[in-house]
A and B are shown apart, each in its own frame.
Chain A
Amino acid sequence: MITKGEQIDADLRLQAEVCVIGTGAGGAVVAKELAEAGRDVVVLEQGGYYTKDDFTQREDEMMPLLYEDMGQRMTVDQTIGIMQGRNVGGSTVHNLCYCFRTPAPILEKWQREDGLRDMSYAQMVPSFERVEQMLKVKEILPHEINTLNHKVREGCEKLGYHGLVARHNREGCTTSGFCLLGCPFDAKQSMLITYVPAAANAGARIYADCPVTRIHAANGRVRSVEGVVVDALRRPRHRVHVEAQVVVLAAGAINSPQILLNSDIANSSGQVGRNLHLHPSILLAGIYDEDIYGYRGVPQSYYVDEFINLEKNPDSGYILMPVYGFPVATASQVPGFGRAHWEVMRNYHRMVGLLVLMHDQSAGAVRVDSSGKPAITYHVNRKEQQLFVEGMKHCAEILFASGATQVMVPYAELLMLKPSDDLGIIDRRGAREGDIPIASTHPQSTCKMGEDPSRSVVNSWCRSHDLGNLFICDMSVFPSSLGAPPQISTAAIADRTAHYIRDHWAQLV
């Protein structure tokens, strides 16, 4: 059963064995696995419930429905934009379907440095396989690689850089290319059409438009969850109160610490909200003489891993990812205004975007302000600014190698490079926050896992060190930057946690 906020006409008082908060890659998996195990599950999702018939492929209509703060969530100093989903299915509804397993060297690092137990790559394989089967993960077929991705691949092959065709969670893709705005064909195997309906079919009661405001605890245990029912304009209409024996918080790496901090729980370590990693990214765009129509076809079907080697160095490196934007998003990224802005926009159909996604050691924080809203701080450290510069130069090289006649570097004062230009100009301009747009779609690590209760929020099974019946199951539990798109890692860790809860139920309640 999935209930929308508009269908709720009074305060909700619910009882359940398990209350799951959030329906993204973590929460949806836990809800399905525990409901199928016979547990009575209530799920609270802050965003709305929208299905394929609601996805109009229009930016102005979809951004408010599918993205937190209409896609404009920012750090406090306004230098880094953070895109997150806010709907049933979470960010999996708008993501571009990259499916990477957690890299083995990262799992080894987590075991070595954070003491995680029973979490080697081999031990994670059953969870990877279950999740991948459910999401129908497979490699993109050659004919599905679109022109934009072909251009990046061509540039890499000319320069001898290593890249790979991606694995995605698509089935029967029409290649319309509107993935960022929700799939109106139900081809994207997001949580919305996989785990969420499976959870509902198994008896989970799922309530949309119900943001959680507080979790109440006493004597070392969570007692209840409190929230509100909001209307389409996010105005509170009714109260929600859930009493549950186990609570699984899966609201994402910004909202999960927000809820914990507002509730003043699970933070004896002082680590809630700290260690924020973002996978920050900087985008360059090549402009070609030929038509590209980068928004057509399967996006992000290729990636460049030449500049990251986690086996040699699990703490550093970056991936280059082809990317595109629809007109509004593109226009907001193009520097300047008026005629100069138009001179770039008129080449919209000839652009190839390529971004540098940093495997970051830089760390920020999520705090809450006086109104209880998240206040996000993050700064790219000097070393990673240098890596960004290096990566931006590689992007320009790749784009020029595949025929770009110009490359746009979106500094506040626009830089348009020609093939003959010295890329040293990027060295001189640098990659400073505020001077060039930096974006994130992968906030993580704000409630990190670890076996030392003084340095982590949850243990190896995502169970709170402080509250025995509280689990956290989203990207916030990653002990460090993942170094790869996080969808499968998040879902697999949630799968593993759900099985732990299922198998240890008697000890938990």
Chain B
Amino acid sequence: MGNAGLQIADDATTQTRMAAVSRRSFLRWTAVSAGLLTVSRLRLAPPAAATSAGCARVLTPSQAEILTVVVERMVYSGSPEMPAVRDTAAIATIDQALLQLDAPTQSQVGWLITLFEWGPPVFQFKLRRFTTLSAEEQDAYLRDWATSRVETRRIAFQALKNLSVLGYYAQDATWKGIHYDGPWVPRPRRVVRPEC
């Protein structure tokens, strides 16, 4: 199935959406830490919320907010030397990375984030979204994906984790806490940073 397999009707159920994505294409996008259709088209995302991704270009504000909560649970910022995710440019860094993926993959990312947000009723029989669960419930939900018998869910967990650690541990502010010296070369240097 080519990219046409990713065209999903607005009123499809979550399960139908997953089935519409071939295992192969699902696996391919997770290879680059990616996901599916635009959230705006699905109209499933929560209202836009404050986000640290001020200059997001691939992620919508609502996707950025969901992803912020995912990153907060994936990494641990409870130690005094580690910054809170919202005090960093983690989401903007992720967005910049996503910008460099092809368009179908970019849209798949949004679908993954949305699926993850709206998954608790399907996967845990909880009538709430991921972002409205308590921290403990969010961790249990993540663990459920990480250890799922369904391979695609485990891969999706790893994709979200890879995005999370990319965003967080690329931040200078996190390096002191792990005793990493950072680059030798001073800034500013020429930075090749593809733009839209």
- A73 CA to B190 CA in the complex, in Å? 27
Q: Which residues of chain A are within 8 angstroms of B73 by Cβ–Cβ distance?
A: 337-338
- A373 CA to B3 CA in the complex, in Å? 12
- A509 CA to B181 CA in the complex, in Å? 56
**A176–B184 touching, CB < 8 Å:** yes
Residue of A whose beta carbon sits closest to that of B99: A233
Q: Among A231, A328, A434, point to the contact of B166 (Cβ < 8 A).
A: A328
**A369–B97 touching, CB < 8 Å:** no
**B177–A370 touching, CB < 8 Å:** no
Question: Any chain B CB within 8 A of the CB of A59?
Answer: yes
Produce 1/0 per residue, B152-172, CB < 8 A to A: 001100100110111011100
State which of B10-18, B74-82, B109-117 sits at the interface with chain A: B74-82
Interchain Cβ contacts within 8 Å, total number: 146
Determine how close the nearest CB of chain B comes to the CB of A438; give it in whole angstroms: 13
Count of residues in A whose CB is under 8 Å from the partner chain:
57
**A328–B181 touching, CB < 8 Å:** no
Question: Any chain B CB within 8 A of the CB of A126?
Answer: no
**A57–B180 touching, CB < 8 Å:** no
**B97–A64 touching, CB < 8 Å:** yes
Determine how close the nearest CB of chain A comes to the CB of B3; give it in whole angstroms: 7
**B79–A342 touching, CB < 8 Å:** yes
**B31–A291 touching, CB < 8 Å:** no
B residues 168-191 in Cβ contact with A at 8 Å: 168-170, 174-175, 177-185, 187, 189-191
Question: Any chain B CB within 8 A of the CB of A161?
Answer: no
Residue of A whose beta carbon sits closest to that of B70: A337
Determine how close the nearest CB of chain A comes to the CB of B94; give it in whole angstroms: 9
Q: Which residues of chain B are within 8 angstroms of A69 by Cβ–Cβ distance?
A: 31-32
**B192–A60 touching, CB < 8 Å:** no
Query: A48-B192, A53-B190, A327-B175 are contacts. A58–B170 as well, Cβ < 8 Å?
Result: yes
Q: Among A48, A178, A293, A328, point to the contact of B183 (Cβ < 8 A).
A: A178
Q: Which residues of chain A are within 8 angstroms of B108 by Cβ–Cβ distance?
A: none
Count of residues in B whose CB is under 8 Å from the partner chain:
60
Pick the most buried of B169, B177, B187: most chain A CB atoms within 10 A of its CB.
B169
**B161–A332 touching, CB < 8 Å:** yes
Q: Among A61, A72, A331, point to the contact of B191 (Cβ < 8 A).
A: A61
Produce 1/0 per residue, B131-158, CB < 8 A to A: 0000000010010001100010011001
Q: Among B28, B78, B184, B190, point to the contact of A339 (Cβ < 8 A).
A: B78
Q: Which residues of chain A are within 8 angstroms of B165 by Cβ–Cβ distance?
A: 328, 331-332
Which residues of A pack against B, CB within 8 Å? 48, 50, 53-61, 64-65, 69-70, 72-74, 76-78, 174, 176, 178, 184, 231-234, 291, 293, 295-296, 326-328, 330-332, 336-339, 341-342, 345-346, 348-349, 369-371, 373, 375, 412-413, 434
23 pairs, CB–CB < 8 Å, chain A vs chain B? A54-B191, A56-B185, A57-B185, A59-B169, A59-B170, A64-B100, A64-B194, A65-B192, A72-B31, A74-B27, A76-B27, A178-B184, A231-B194, A233-B100, A233-B194, A326-B180, A327-B174, A327-B178, A328-B170, A337-B142, A338-B139, A348-B180, A371-B3
